[in-house]
Amino acid sequence: MKKIITIALALVLGFLAVTLIGGQAAEAETNDDSKDGTVFRTGAVGRVTVDPDIAYLTVGASSERDNAADAMEDVNLIMDDVLAAVKAAGVADEDIKTQHIGVDVIYDYSRSTRMLQGYMARNSLTVTIRNLDDVAVIYDAVIEAGANDVGSLAFDKENKDEAYDEALALAVARATEKVDVLAAAAGIDSEMIPQTFEEVSYQTYAGNVRQMDMAVEEASGVNVIPGTLEIVASVAVEFKTAD
């Protein structure tokens, strides 16, 4: 007799819970084919914490003037100094790229009809910092060079493959443990043979990673704390009893 037990599990606050599948309770199917055994389907998550080894700093300049060309000229002069400061700090050309450049029209809506107020020019760069010890130094340097539009500072792991493989292995191991628990609870004493493994998702979460809008006023002697990253892998698996 073939029996199929489909069980979806959710790990919530550390407890093992049996959930609904497609809004319906888990069901068992039977037929006359006894050699197919009992099938269990479940899922699990693996988590690995790593230290970041790379940072991304968004830095730029903005200027509001009555004339668009004047606004852009102001910005270009500032960014020339910012770029020079970044390179002087040891950042390679390939680690510097333009993120945004443009001019916006500014209107005054305080009256019944809108009035042209001026133009806002912006130019920003994304700087890849490969030595985390240089983050605070580079941040201070760009502010001193005249940057007045500093966006965000984010830390990351440049190569996550090894950490992800470890998280994936942990997820599969956890899924195997959960199937053994379910089989024991169901009174089934048989070897569990893996049938299928499906990689559900791969995500990176910031633990206490510093990733925020950076105010210019905070620049002097800025204290940078890289924190940690959490690599998460999720799997869905299917096991079948040997008999």
Q: What is the pLDDT of residue 147?
A: 96
Q: What is the pLDDT of residue 110?
A: 86
- Contact of 85 with 91, CB cutoff 8 Å: no
First to last CA, the chain: 10
- Contact of 160 with 241, CB cutoff 8 Å: no
Structure tokens at 43: 């899922």
Q: What is d(CA 207, CA 202) in angstroms, rounded to the nearest whole number?
A: 16
Contacts of 94 by beta carbon, 8 Å cutoff, 6+ apart: none
Give the model confidence (pLDDT) of 107-150 as tens digits: 999 888 888 999 999 999 999 999 999 999 999 999 999 999 98
pLDDT tens-place values along the chain, 243 residues long:
444 433 333 333 233 333 323 322 222 333 334 456 788 889 999 999 999 999 999 999 999 999 999 999 999 999 999 999 999 999 999 999 999 999 999 999 988 888 899 999 999 999 999 999 999 999 999 999 999 998 889 999 999 999 999 999 999 999 999 999 988 888 888 888 888 777 777 777 775 444 444 444 444 567 788 889 999 999 999 988 876
Structure tokens at 223: 């204290």
Q: Which pTM does this prediction carry?
A: 0.71
- Contact of 31 with 62, CB cutoff 8 Å: no
- The residue with tokens 């700090």 is 89
Q: What is the pLDDT of residue 26?
A: 29
Q: What is the pLDDT of residue 72?
A: 97
Q: What is the pLDDT of residue 27?
A: 29
Domains in the chain with CATH codes: 2-51+159-207+226-241 (3.30.110.170), 54-156 (3.30.70.2970)
